[in-house]
Amino acid sequence: MFDTFKNRLEITGVLTTITALRISAGRSTEPIGTDLPVIKDAFGRPLIPGSSFKGALRSRLESFLRGILGSDRKLVANPAIEEEWSLKASEAKALKKLGLDQLIIFRRAREIEDFAVLSIEILVERIHDSKRTDHIKPEDVMSQSELIELKKKLLSEKKYTVDCMLTEAIVNYTDLPSLLFGSPWLASKFQVRDLTVLPDNWFGQYQERDGVAIDRDTETAADGKLYDFQVVPAGTPFEFRAVVENAEEWELGLLMIGLHQFETEQIPLGGGRSRGLGVVKLEINNIWWFDYPENDPEQLITYLKELVQDRKDRYLLRQETIKAHRDDWIEKLIEKLRQVSVKTTANHTSIHQEA
């Protein structure tokens, strides 16, 4: 994923609150002041955590992908519930039992229709435990000559290590959003800095609003449930900066669709969204793109040199170029989703026939 640098996309812009924004720091313990203050930086200015932006973006994209691909956890996982991860902790632990040759056998076994319906744990145990009556041996999945040829190929690609083969297995079992946004077992390719308010546009103008919990039986205000909360007013601009490294073209297409949702005020942030809070609008100002061509180290050396000298504007995309890249990346995403849909349909048909 990150052992070799491939590309880098850097995006800057401004995120502006269209309605008041409430991202709470939790209930205050101070005797004076609001019950629920907003998150602030060290200078007492409002802050939008990068994790809040990233989480809202990921959630929206996951909902789109479930609408296209269905709710299979291996395609679109639920990061909040371990049982709905694409690769559960027990499955990752099972994979780590395998040695080098066993990982090769595992990869080949998963490609064979007869083994498609087996869970990871069962398949691993059948490969790992030679005392089992249903133990899977190399000749069960490939001939000796095929195994030798595959080893030669892996050696030539410098991938014949346990770590590389294990990483490949983990990536192959990672759902689509997690490949871009990360998971407990895979680092994220997409990083968002905390969004800080633009200081020239901030004059400490917090607002306080009253809230009340409603008794669902009487449909009136519940006793002792009055509270007040702090919000950042509409029209407050925040600096946006994000970086993506080593992303595939289809992953960049997925990201472009998500950012477009923020550009068109489709993804609210923070709490109180049912009462209209948290509507924001993203305006992207600049995009820098460097795609490292293979076997051309001079270009990477030049890129690093110009970064150090703060001369990266050579890689700044013009508006017409941005549109061309976006269109191309989104087309790659569509191709990827079609491939996954065809493969999923074939697997479901195989499982149905097996049943």
Please list the pLDDT of the chain residue by residue as tens digits (355 residues). Answer: 667 889 999 999 999 999 999 887 645 444 444 557 778 888 889 899 999 999 999 999 999 999 999 989 989 999 888 889 999 899 999 999 998 888 888 888 888 877 777 889 999 999 999 889 889 988 888 888 887 888 788 777 766 788 888 888 899 889 999 999 999 888 999 999 999 999 888 888 887 765 555 555 555 555 556 656 788 899 999 999 999 999 999 999 999 999 999 999 999 998 888 888 899 999 999 999 999 887 788 999 999 999 999 888 989 999 999 999 999 999 999 999 999 987 766 555 444 444 4
- Tell the residue number behind the tokens 């489709």, with chain if given: 266
Distances (CA, A) of 280 to 53, 152, 175, 243, 273: 11, 54, 28, 20, 11
Measured distance CA(293)–CA(43) in Å, rounded:
43
Measured distance CA(344)–CA(303) in Å, rounded:
40
* Domain layout of the chain by residue ranges: 7-86+174-354, 87-173
**In contact, 246 and 1? CB cutoff 8 Å:** yes
pTM of the model: 0.85
Measured distance CA(300)–CA(274) in Å, rounded:
48
Helices 100-111 and 120-128 pack at an angle, to 10 degrees, of 130
